[in-house]
Amino acid sequence: MGSRIYGIDYLRGILSILVVTWHMGGGGFSLINFIGRESDHSFTFPDFINFHILLNAVPCFIMISNYLFVSKNPDLRALRKTLGRLFLLASFWPLVFIMYGGGNAALNAVVVSGKLKSIEFLVTAGNTIYYFFVSLIFTQILAYVAVKLDSWVVYAGFGLSVAVLLLTPAAAAHWNIPKLAAFWSPLNFIAPCLCAICMVRLGDKLSVYKYSIIASCAAMTVLLAVIEWKISVSSAFWATDYSALPAYTRPSLTFTSALFVILCLNFTHAPGAIFRFLSDNSLALYCIHPFLIPHVNNAVTNMFGANLRSVTIPAVILLSYLVSVVLKFYLRGEVIGKNTPRTKNLASNPQSILN
């Protein structure tokens, strides 16, 4: 990849805000979010916002990260460097968050609860939102292996992964194994990873046939979303996803993410100061906001007598950015994110989803 992809800078800043909005319930609620009411549910606008806009953030991050990784034709040294950074993120932030939240009890629980629980503890990054970094580790290794395969194998693997992702929720509900469709499962992100490799293999065709590809992605998104709402709703998923529809075990998100990524790959305008700031601090916003949510919620509730999301969400985002600016004086860029050098030739700077 010879030049900077400006669209990714915009997308990074926006996606991290979507993550915070989802975590704080900013998309609203429907009967799908209430235990035992899924049979009375009909599709609503909050469902569209939550399940088809906000929840695109993580698969889209996964797709962009693997696109950038594969575009650089990585060797084993590049893989080791990437994994070292991800292992640092996947260990530092969960440990700090667990200790911040009261600590030793959570760490001791996994030690005495057996091997299976210990594996789940590691995959979920200590039952925190930082499972994202574990999933990135998994998909980067997968991408490193898959990129060496023939194109037809990658395309076939992508098609198979989409089919498996579509059918997994129904199988998980039928066999009452909801963890097969848990939001934290790295298996949810095989399809976005392979889709990223397919995009790299298509090369210039992504630009030449962008409108046809975007239209195809939009059509697949609608078709798969309709099927998902028909076959994937089950009360079984309350045990893992806190709603009757799995968060990420849905292939429609892969095609929506692909649509967003293709659009950003064809975006040629360099970001201004605001979006450069949002992009530079996207990792920090993701990592810091869980620490602030309970305090902001309590403060707003005490002040207004209710948890006003129109107040709490902007407050958490702004405070996270403020904390980010301060922490960058004390923490290494590998764990808090690096600022893009303010050079005239922005396109010459190396690009990563984790800057």
CA distance 201 to 190: 17
Query: What pLDDT was estimated at residue 39?
Result: 78
Instruction: Tell me how far apart the alpha carbons of residues 296 and 307 are, in angstroms, rounded to a whole number.
Output: 9
* Residue partners of 25: CB distance under 8 A and separation at least 6: 309
Give the C-alpha separation, 26 to 17, whole Å: 11
Question: Which pLDDT belongs to residue 340?
Answer: 62
* For range 36-43, the mean pLDDT: 82
Q: How far apart are CA 257 and CA 263, in angstroms?
A: 10
- Closest C-alpha to 293, from 320, 275, 269: 320
Helix orientation angle between 131-146 and 190-202, rounded to the nearest 10 degrees: 40
Compute the C-alpha angle 135/78/151, nearest 5°. Answer: 70
Q: Which two tokens stand for residue 134?
A: 């574990």
pLDDT digits (tens, 9 = 90+) for 66-79: 999 999 989 999 99
Percent of the chain with pLDDT over 70: 90
**Which amino acid is located at 108 in the chain?**
N
Lowest mean pLDDT among 262-266, 290-294, 329-333, 335-339: 335-339
> Does residue 211 surpass a pLDDT of 70?
yes
CA distance 128 to 107: 13
For 339, other C-beta atoms within 10 Å of its C-beta total: 14
H helix intervals, the chain = 6-23, 45-52, 57-71, 76-100, 104-112, 115-123, 131-146, 151-174, 190-202, 205-208, 210-231, 238-241, 252-265, 273-280, 282-304, 309-327, 333-336
pLDDT confidence band for 1 (50 / 70 / 90): very low
Portion of the chain with pLDDT greater than 90, in percent: 70
pLDDT digits (tens, 9 = 90+) for 213-267: 999 999 999 999 999 999 999 999 988 888 999 999 999 999 999 999 999 988 8
Using CB atoms within 10 Å of the CB of residue 95, give its burial: 0 to 12 exposed, 13 to 18 middle, 19+ buried. Answer: middle
**pLDDT digits 0-9 by tens, 271-311:** 899 999 999 999 999 999 999 999 999 999 999 988 899 99
Whether the per-residue pLDDT at 350 is higher than 60: the answer is no
Query: What pLDDT score was predicted for residue 109?
Result: 58
Residue 15, pLDDT > 60, answer yes
Overall average pLDDT of the 12-39 stretch = 90
| pTM of the full structure | 0.91
Domain extent listing, the chain: 16-272
pLDDT at 344: 45
* Residue predicted with more confidence, 340 or 281: 281
| CA pair distance 252, 274, nearest whole angstrom | 31
The reported pLDDT for the residue numbered 348 is 44
